[in-house]
């Protein structure tokens, strides 16, 4: 019982941290922006929480479906776990070395912000891993393809 309560607190903390990580205004050149945010951590930590965020310039744009891929060097980083926000149908595949594939669909749309959070174990303390984000599909609830107006950034 105690373990379940501690796990619930940890997940709740990660969800609120993911929401905070995604709080920013999209780039001026973007209708929609997808980016990777890493939670603050001490240099001695070997765990890092990375959140994939999507935000739109207009509050009327609602994401209806998405498919993306987060890539990293599997020699220096490994996936500990994947955490997803509530809502819609979401799937992740973290079983491939050096990447996490993620997708989701929600007829009423997803809340703006975090699509997925990934807890990574960094093998060398103090190293900031290079992360590459690719969005393969991004659609509004009305079926509009949002990729043409999308700006994507990872962590160099």
* Residue-wise pLDDT tens digits, 53-80: 999 888 889 999 999 999 999 999 999 9
Average pLDDT on 33-53 reads: 87
How far apart are the C-alpha atoms of 53 and 68, rounded to whole Å?
A: 11
1 CB contacts (<8 Å, ≥6 apart)?
none
pLDDT band at 156 (very low <50, low <70, confident <90, very high): very low
pLDDT in tens, 71-108: 999 999 999 999 999 999 999 999 999 999 999 999 99
Q: For 56-115, give the DSSP string.
A: ESSTT--EEEEEEEEE--TTTEEEEEEE--SSSEEEEE--STTEEEEEEEEEEEEPSEEE
Q: Is the pLDDT of residue 20 over 80?
A: no
Average pLDDT on 22-43 reads: 80
Angle at alpha carbon of residue 59, lines to 13 and 18, rounded to 5° = 15
């Amino acid at each position: 019982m105690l373990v379940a309560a501690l796990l619930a607190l940890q997940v709740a903390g990660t969800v609120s941290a993911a929401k905070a990580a995604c709080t920013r205004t999209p780039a001026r050149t973007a209708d929609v922006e997808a980016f990777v945010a890493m939670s603050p951590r001490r240099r001695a930590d070997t765990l890092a929480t990375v959140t994939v965020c999507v935000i739109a310039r207009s509050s009327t744009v609602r994401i209806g479906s998405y498919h993306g891929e987060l890539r990293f060097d599997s020699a220096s980083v490994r996936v500990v776990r994947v955490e997803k926000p509530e809502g819609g149908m979401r799937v992740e595949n973290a079983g491939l070395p050096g990447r996490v594939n993620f997708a989701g669909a929600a007829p009423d749309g997803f809340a703006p912000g975090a699509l997925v959070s990934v807890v990574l174990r960094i093998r060398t303390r103090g190293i900031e891993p290079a992360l590459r984000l690719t969005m393969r599909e991004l659609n509004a609830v009305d079926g509009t393809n949002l990729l043409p107006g999308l700006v994507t950034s990872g962590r160099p």
